[in-house]
Amino acid sequence: MERVSLIGLPAVKGITPHKTWFGSEAAILVVLAAANIRMKFLRQNILSILIMCLAVLSVIMSNSVVSILAALFGLTFWFFIKHARTSSIFLMGICSSVVIVLVFISMFDIDIFQILLIFNRDSGLTGRGYIWGTWLEVIQKRVLIGYGYSGFFGNSIDAPAYAYFGRAGSYMPPNFHNTFLDVTAELGIIGLLLFCYPVACSLIRLWRVQSDFGSILLSVAVALLVEAMGERTFLHHTFLPTFVLFIVIFYSSSIYIRQCRTDHRSGNTWKTSS
């Protein structure tokens, strides 16, 4: 049975295979619902509020801590990007938020592990500490190109992962529970760079343009990247965040192409920077 959620009920996974998938999709809906309330894509305010409440409740009921954090970061980022148009104000807001949290923790002597207990998590982050600890040893054998897609974790006892986790006689993890660690293990440093470069260029381009739709996509992408720190968020071909990531890249690319065409027609030099 899944862990009990924050409201005392079993964690919900909906129609998805796992509660993390349900929480991730709910986190996306939270950001979209908040943007809808602000920009009023749906004219009915009551419907917008109901969607927002449903999205927040879904994230909580998933009991996925990374999804809850993703929703909070996505909402915070969207708020700053809509109300702080300059980079300096945005960075000041982020820095001041971090300082406030650190001061709050120090003043009230808050134990981080006690916060984890609220979410029914142990100090080892439900095994992530041990899994992440083996990552460096894993990639040292194939630093550049990795083990191939799904080549490290597999259903067969011949999978390389069994040499690290199968010998413990405990739960066999399906992945490293961190997208970037998984990408490096499967595709190596080269694959990690090829994955991160287009994503980074797309986010920078959306940040510079700051259109309404671009701001929403940017906030959703930030939420998913936060979740990627604690889960295998991307590169699941049936997983919604992978589809959303493609939309972010394609939309950003369309902005770049339009910019190049405009510069070409006006006689300016094409801008090849990100």
Tell me the C-alpha distance between 63 and 85, whole Å: 34
Tell me the C-alpha distance between 267 and 126, whole Å: 58
Residue 262 domain-assigned (yes or no): no
Residue 90 domain-assigned (yes or no): yes
Q: What domain range is 113 assigned to?
A: 86-125
Q: Which residues contact residue 206 at a Cβ distance below 8 angstroms, ignoring those fewer than 6 apart?
A: 214, 215, 217, 218, 221, 248, 251, 252, 255
Residue 109 domain-assigned (yes or no): yes
Residue 116 domain-assigned (yes or no): yes
pLDDT of residue 199: 92
Place of tokens 């990552």: 135
Residue 53 domain-assigned (yes or no): no
**pTM for this prediction:** 0.76
- pLDDT mean for each 10 residues of the chain (274 residues): 54 72 85 75 68 84 82 84 62 64 56 54 63 81 84 75 66 81 89 92 86 86 89 76 89 85 67 47
**Running DSSP on this structure, what letter comes out for residue 96?**
H
Taking the alpha carbons at both ends of the chain, their separation in whole angstroms is 47
Tell me the C-alpha distance between 6 and 112, whole Å: 17
Measured CA distances, 186 to 141, 143, 229, 255 (Å): 12, 10, 16, 31
Residue 260 domain-assigned (yes or no): no
pLDDT of residue 194: 92
The number of distinct structural domains making up the chain is: 1
Tell me the C-alpha distance between 45 and 59, whole Å: 21
Residue 105 domain-assigned (yes or no): yes
Helix (H, G, I), strand (E, B) or coil at 4: strand
Q: Please choose, from the candidates 10, 116, 100, 120, the residue with its C-alpha nearest in 3D space to the C-alpha of residue 62.
A: 10
pLDDT of residue 274: 47
Residue 150 domain-assigned (yes or no): no
Place of tokens 């702080």: 84
